[in-house]
Structure 1
Amino acid sequence: MATAPNDSEEELIDQFLSQRGHETASWETEYNKKQCPECGGIHDTEAVTCSVCGWSPGQ
């Protein structure tokens, strides 16, 4: 049975991907909200673009 990766495993995976040119930034989660990794703005889970700084995943 597979388990969810812990923070250190996620960091290793992100480091591996970023070294190979892949974008690894994504929304952070805070309770039932999304948090922008650029400015820290809090948004509903349906948000696709930060209304504070304009960031979106894949930029």
Structure 2
Amino acid sequence: MASAPSNDELFDEFLSDRGHEVEAVGWDESYNKKQCPECSGLHDTDATECSVCGWVPNQN
């Protein structure tokens, strides 16, 4: 039995059907650090979550 798509998947499909580009959002890079795209907080390269604002990259 197939599982139902998540709300995020449905929303992405809705946007894609209407010509919007949908892509996974990940860390920006600044020198040898990861940079949060939401608050611009800098983190070591092993960070998996922003310790400033709590942002987590899309895991697609």
TM-score range, shorter chain: 0.5 to 0.7
Q: One-letter code of the match for 2:33?
A: K
Q: Which has the larger radius of gyration?
A: 2
> Counterpart of 2:45 in 1: which secondary structure?
coil
Number of residue pairs the alignment of both structures matches: 42
Structure 1 residue 57 and structure 2 residue 57: aligned?
yes
> Structure 1: which 4+ aligned runs deviate by more than 2 Å?
none
Give the alignment's TM-score, normalised by structure 1: 0.59
What residue is the counterpart of 1:45 in the other structure? 45
Structure 1, unaligned runs of 5 or more = 1-15
Cα root mean square deviation, aligned: 2.5
Q: Could you tell me whether the CA contact under 8 Å between 1:23 and 1:58 is conserved in 2? A: no
Structure 2, unaligned runs of 5 or more = 1-15
Give the alignment's TM-score, normalised by structure 2: 0.58
